[in-house]
Chains A and B, each alone.
Chain A
């Protein structure tokens, strides 16, 4: 094909691409924008810098689908969290098991703000639900029990059971030949006890 024809084909292709991406967003024309949207969150949905003014706070709260009163960003301590909300460190175990959640296995509804450590708080991982006995008592009792057992095992090693009452007495003249004694010499008798 001549260069002129190739040029015409490129122009035609460009017009077609422009029409598809900017035309009425229905049917095939919507394909390009849909594909682009499906490739990740849009710039407006991504976390942004730490909000300093009340307007920024309100915008961030709206972005994370939270009420302005509830929204509290993670403190700006140089760790780069931006405007991500500080949600309470409560695991999904603590949520109502009988409520009809949108995702029953995750106990979460669609659109709910996701905790930074959400993958840690699912039902297969860390449980923060209140225990019948408080944390410090549990730790004290468990480690106290293990420490006590280790201590008692140490004493048990020092004072073993079933103490022998006399030294061992071996047959064959106290195993004279087996211990490498002279076969000609007569060994002295070793008797610790009589049966």
Chain B
């Protein structure tokens, strides 16, 4: 066997072994020592990252991809489910990035969660999540993907509700599970369709046998799954609510890895979608609506984590738009670059929140640039990368997407919405930096604010390097599979930059108004719409549960109980018998009229029957 493929398969399976070893050691009854989280888990992930660089370099040099089928799990005469790993372009690049980001987040979490009595369990949950995520991205069949899919959903529930004594955290965890479940309906529908029509869950066989079939139904199921997992409009409220969890959870799950699982599913199964215009249009319109709606909501939020969460949702909408443009590779590029700067934004927010004694309201921050210069600089770098500043990480993916959008013969409204959302990105990013780093502090100086702890600073620095060079490195080493449009009018080429700069200028103009004496928070319709998140949670979370629960209660107690205890038994007997009884006894009252009527009726009936 060729040594390259042997090295590739072995290293990739070693990664799984390295990651699962700390979990297996927790199965013993003896408790782990206090530093287990750092000595075992963080080391395992660091090792796994370094090991994963080897397949990455082999892939970059030689373009080797491999499919490893290990074990025949459930095989019948007609249907096979195997343990099968696909290490192709997408998973070989995503795995090192996920491991790098997770390594930084774990180091940060060792500082953020150091006062938590169950820190070891927290790290165990994060490790379990990461394993589920890697199972998801390396899955070569739908069943294995589903295992990873559900795994990340459950770990998200456990981690959002980490502080389970807090009712809001429990509600947020419930929201995450329920909204993801609605998306899972779509995924299971698609899986059932594939199993019955294509007779396989192996990705290669699905692609080969689906030529010429009408795939609209399973594709709609997959889009529903992506809507649930990646918080597209309609199933999006769980993502901002998920900020109830600790900041490392928000940084890992709800910005870089878990929420991109839905988009990743669509990227993986993209050959099925290429020729189906309905599915592509749905992705495009849904993504455009999501990106604008969530960017609008982010404009007036005051909680720093919520702003970053809505920013994540907006970027996920942009990724969905890219899929609708038939450009899965660009969407994947955006996933990779987005992971770096979004995780860094969350870590900087977490550092600032902890320094200010758990204050999350940006109206009570300010002047952090003087107090924590490195953190606020990295916040600025992350925001610049997010808005697509030329030659930072976000530029390579975001600008390419906007160029592709501008030069596509597609829905003009989707184009308008996406450009508007790009300008809003600049606005709320500036808002965060203005309120957090600039100006004077709006809090009382309590704890000495410092940046002395290397477990905080090193992860942020590492991710800052990633935010700066990741885009350049990725695009220099990987060829695009679809030829980008090379020539376009100059305004279209500069469109992304122009709308971003105009958003920035508008935001600066609005920010300068804060130092003048104006009425506070005017009661504008648009402000209310934006601040209350489009009224979506307020309407849907009150209406739908109330209807469902009252319906359930009425069915259970009134309908079922009353039916079985009363209507089937005594009252039912009465209601069927009583009319007959009254009719019969009324007939037999002894009135001649009644007898005569009956006599004539029956005679007429008999005559009619004999005559006809």
Contacts and interface: CB of A to CB of B under 8 A. Distances in A.
Interface of A: 79-80, 105, 116-117, 119-120, 123-128, 131-133, 135, 138-139, 141-142, 145, 149, 152-153, 155-157, 159-164
Interface residues of B, number: 41
Given A160-B411, A162-B407, A126 B562 contact: no
B181 to A, nearest CB: 16
Closest 8 CB pairs of A and B: A156-B413, A156-B411, A138-B535, A161-B412, A123-B167, A120-B549, A142-B535, A152-B413
Nearest to B547: A126
Interface in B492-543: 525, 528-529, 532, 534-536, 538-539, 541-542
B528 A133 contact: yes
Given A132-B532, A133-B528, A138-B535, A125 B410 contact: no
B558 A79 contact: yes
A120 B412 CA distance: 44
B409 interface: yes
A139 B542 CA distance: 12
B413 A155 contact: yes
Contacts of A120: 545-546, 549-550, 553
Contacts of B546: 120, 126
The B contact surface, by secondary structure, is helix
* Most A Cβ at <10 Å: residue of B413, B528, B534: B413
A128 B557 CA distance: 23
Interface of B: 165, 167-168, 170-171, 174, 281, 285, 289, 406-416, 525, 528-529, 532, 534-536, 538-539, 541-542, 545-546, 549-550, 553, 557-558, 561-562, 566
A161 B545 contact: no
Contacts of A159: 412
A126 B167 CA distance: 13
17 contacts: A105-B167, A117-B553, A120-B546, A124-B171, A125-B549, A131-B538, A133-B528, A142-B536, A142-B539, A149-B289, A156-B411, A156-B412, A156-B415, A157-B411, A160-B412, A162-B407, A164-B409
Given A120-B550, A120-B553, A142-B534, 16 more contacts: A80-B561, A80-B566, A126-B546, A131-B538, A138-B535, A138-B538, A139-B535, A141-B525, A141-B534, A141-B535, A153-B413, A156-B411, A156-B416, A159-B412, A160-B410, A164-B409
A159 to B, nearest CB: 6
A194 B214 CA distance: 39
A158 to B, nearest CB: 9
Nearest to B288: A153
Contact of B528 (A116, A132, A135, A157): A132
A116 to B, nearest CB: 8
Contacts of A164: 409
